[in-house]
Amino acid sequence: MKYIIQFSYLLGFWLLGELLSLIMKPIFYIPGSIVGMLIFFAALTLGFIKESQIKEVADFMLENIAFFFLPATVSIMALSGIARSEIFPLVIITFVSTMVTMIGTMFLTHYLTQRRRAKKNQ
């Protein structure tokens, strides 16, 4: 029962995001999953939801994350004939975006670590 409740939290925020996305669609479009994730992040940050309330389901999903990428992988394989002509640009885009993400994460982590140390030293 505990797992169903934890999963319900995740689904509830996803559904809320989808609903808000439909409401905002005439003004500007943001995917519902992104809106739901932002609302969920805000709820965790503001303390409306505690990490312990979703820990087991979140850990399970993270441990099995490769399973969730299977549909995308299969789709890419199915479109491999189309992608062959564009393979070089795709490889370059993938490499550059991965590097930008890694470097951005590195700087953000460094900044947050320094900030945390500065607060501890005060």
Q: Are residues 86 and 53 in the same domain?
A: no
Q: Are residues 60 and 9 in the same domain?
A: yes
Distance CA 57, CA 52 (A): 10
Q: How many domains are there within the chain?
A: 2
Q: Are residues 90 and 38 in the same domain?
A: no
Q: Residue 17, Cβ neighbours under 10 Å: how many?
A: 21
Torsion of CA 32, 52, 47, 107, to 10 degrees: -70
Check residue 52 and report its DSSP letter. Answer: G
Q: Are residues 74 and 64 in the same domain?
A: no
pLDDT at 74: 77
Domain of 19 in residue numbering reads as 1-68
Q: Are residues 43 and 63 in the same domain?
A: yes
Q: Taking the model in full, what pTM does it have?
A: 0.59
Distance CA 75, CA 122 (A): 52
Q: Are residues 53 and 14 in the same domain?
A: yes
Q: Is 118 helix (H, G, I), strand (E, B) or coil?
A: helix
CA distances from 86 to 70, 83, 97, 108 (A): 22, 5, 17, 33
| pLDDT tops 70 at residue 30 | yes
pLDDT at 15: 95
List pLDDT tens digits, range 41-78. 999 999 999 988 999 998 998 888 888 878 777 777 77
- Tokens, residue 63: 């441990």
Q: Are residues 119 and 92 in the same domain?
A: yes
List pLDDT tens digits, range 68-118. 878 777 777 776 666 667 778 878 988 999 999 999 999 999 999 999 998
Q: Are residues 12 and 64 in the same domain?
A: yes
pLDDT at 83: 61
Q: Are residues 16 and 58 in the same domain?
A: yes
pLDDT at 89: 82
